[in-house]
């Protein structure tokens, strides 16, 4: 049970790090494109992480939790990027 949560939370933390990096480093006109690229990378990495877990049960649920969590983080980052000067 614990290893399942670790994989999901790791993707969420990666999404937070990517979102902060994009908001700090990207030019204002390029932020939304960079956020969508970061989200794509998080989703692909969530598949890689969950495929590396030896337990098959709950695979779809773990992928869904990882992807939706990363999406929500990037959604908040997108709102911040749109409203930032």
Residue 40 has pLDDT above 60, yes or no: yes
Instruction: Give the pLDDT score at 85.
Output: 72
Domain borders along the chain are: 2-83
Residues 3-38: tens digit of each pLDDT: 668 889 999 999 999 999 999 999 998 999 999 999
Mean pLDDT, all residues of the chain: 92
> Looking at the whole model, is its pTM more than 0.75?
yes
Of 34, 28, 35, 32, nearest in space to 85 by CA: 28
């Amino acid at each position: 049970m614990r290893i399942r949560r670790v994989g999901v939370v790791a993707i969420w933390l990666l999404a937070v790090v990517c979102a902060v990096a994009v908001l700090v480093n990207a030019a204002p006109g390029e932020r939304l494109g960079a956020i969508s690229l970061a989200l794509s990378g998080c989703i692909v990495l969530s598949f890689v992480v969950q495929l590396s877990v030896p337990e098959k049960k709950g695979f779809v649920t773990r992928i869904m939790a990882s992807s939706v969590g990363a999406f929500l983080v990037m959604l908040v980052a997108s709102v911040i990027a749109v409203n930032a000067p």
